[in-house]
Amino acid sequence: MKTLYIRIVLTILGVMICSSLLAFFLSNVYYHYNLKPYNDKKLTKMALDVGTFYEENNDIELSNYLKSISKLGYQILLVDQQGNQSFYGGSFREKKLDHKVIDSVLYGKVYHGIAEFPTSLFVTGFFDNTLSNTVGVPIKSSNHHLALFMRPNVQLQFGELRILFSILLLLTIVLSIVFVLVSTRYIVRPIIKLTEATKKIAEGKYNVQLQIKRQDEIGKLANHFSHMSQRLGQIEAMRQEFVSNVSHEIQSPLASIQGFSQSLQTEKLTEEQKNHYLSIIEEESKRMSLLSKQLLTLAALDKEESILQKTTFDVAEQIKQVVFTTEWSWRNKELAIDLELPQTFVSADKNLLHQVWTNLMTNSIKFNHEGGSISIKLSSNEEYVQIEFKDTGIGIFEKDLQQIFNRFFIVDKARNRKESSSGLGLAIVKQIIELHKGHIEVSSKVGEGTKFYLTIPNIKET
């Protein structure tokens, strides 16, 4: 199986080869359709000028004159009427030329061999050193007709440059391959690290540190991967803590029920002691019932799939019902209740919000002082409904404020054990509010009380 490194290298080399072939093909097309006619025209003018100069200066030696011209970088063939041929400059690769062409030039026609040179796919005609790839012009000398055929001597004109370009091309290809190998390794190295880190996470090792400091897409992927591994580690720690807390919360009431049940069966107890033991068993049973109900609620909330059954209702009326339902509890503590609940309609899950108000109200009563107060205020604007629960209770330490929404977190475990708390109530509240696209905040001072501030999307009454 090919590695990503090999795939990238082969892909880049393939692109280089294909682009080179395409570039050569396009340059060949450009030569045939643009440069070839231009070169033919330019060389034709040069050949005509050579012939005209000799015709106007018949006293010069034609052979010496053509030798001088050839030294300027041209290949020349001179043919007389008898068919005698004289070559000047470099030799031609192919010296065959149709007699009809030679005769037409001898009798005054110009031969455009460069412009008429056959077009082929991967042959640039400029470098094809053949007699047919020349320009032919007639020359008159002492009542003799001559045919002059010329083409540039590429080896003479571009000899050093051709070597230079060949070396340059070779070095470009070699260095490109080397740089592709090195740069691809640089690109692939972080992916290799990510692969190794993924294997560690699959083995349950979430403490993965990726030392990848890049600002490109791979760097962003590495950063997101690091955040993901940290989050997975936190979730795993929370899962283990959750299992431990559930086991403890279930084991504690079960141990109490088992112990007091055995005492009722084996010991001789007074009627008062029996009633006391039975009341403890009842309370512990209620604790287990509450815990199982809250766990089922959390399990349902965690799914988040079509759990909300929204209806439009008056949230103020619902909060008043919760206050009336808990009347015995807050009157027993002689708490003062201050309500500011104007009629406000929301579109939400009525049962879930009822759970929210019940949990908050129960906490406000449970952690309040005798003779304290509870204030519930409701307000709204075009976008949100704001609900404030404020009590004058014992308050929460600042270090605990960030954890009170965590599952099974209990500020004062000894006290709350007496109050039959599971540490799930506020976690349920937060999850329900967030399911409604809302937000919950808490502020508190020890000895002064606690305030919960909730916002949920608003809907106008229709």
Note the pLDDT tens digit of each residue in 152-193.
887 766 655 556 667 777 888 888 888 887 877 777 777 777
Q: Distance from first CA to last CA of the chain, Å, rounded?
A: 65
Of 155-164, 170-179, 201-210, 239-248, which range is least confident? 155-164
On the question of pLDDT at 111 being above 90, the answer is yes
Report in angstroms the alpha-carbon separations of 167 from 18, 20, 160, 206, 365: 21, 16, 11, 54, 90
Structure token pair of residue 314: 């008056």
Instruction: Report which residue type is found at 440.
Output: I
On the question of pLDDT at 292 being above 80, the answer is no
Decide: 343 and 336 in contact? Cβ < 8 Å. no
Read off the pLDDT band of 337 (50, 70, 90): very high
Instruction: Share the mean pLDDT of the chain.
Output: 81
Read off the pLDDT band of 126 (50, 70, 90): low
Angle at 314 between CA 311 and CA 317, to 5 degrees: 130
Site of tokens 């600042």: 398
Of 60-64, 206-210, 397-401, which range is least confident? 206-210
Read off the pLDDT band of 315 (50, 70, 90): very high
Q: What is the mean pLDDT of residues 14-38?
A: 81
On the question of pLDDT at 248 being above 70, the answer is no
Residues 393-431 pLDDT 10s? 998 888 878 778 776 666 654 344 444 455 677 888 888
On the question of pLDDT at 340 being above 90, the answer is yes
The tally of CA atoms less than 13 A away on the side-chain side of residue 373 is 7
Q: What is the mean pLDDT of residues 358-383?
A: 91
Q: What is the mean pLDDT of residues 430-446?
A: 89
All domains in the chain, ordered by first residue? 4-160 (3.30.450), 206-303 (1.10.287.130), 306-457 (3.30.565.10)
Decide: 387 and 319 in contact? Cβ < 8 Å. yes
- % of the chain surpassing 90 pLDDT: 22
CA atoms 239, 242, 248, 254: torsion sign: negative
Strands 373-380 and 336-340, sheet pairing: parallel
pLDDT number for residue 62: 86
Q: Which residue has the higher pLDDT, 242 or 198?
A: 198
Instruction: Report which residue type is found at 427.
Output: A
On the question of pLDDT at 238 being above 70, the answer is no
Read off the pLDDT band of 377 (50, 70, 90): very high
Residues 96-109 pLDDT 10s? 888 899 999 998 89
Decide: 111 and 135 in contact? Cβ < 8 Å. yes
Between 315-325 and 350-366, two packed helices, what is the crossing angle to 10 degrees? 40
> Nearest-CA neighbor of 399 among 360, 446, 453?
446
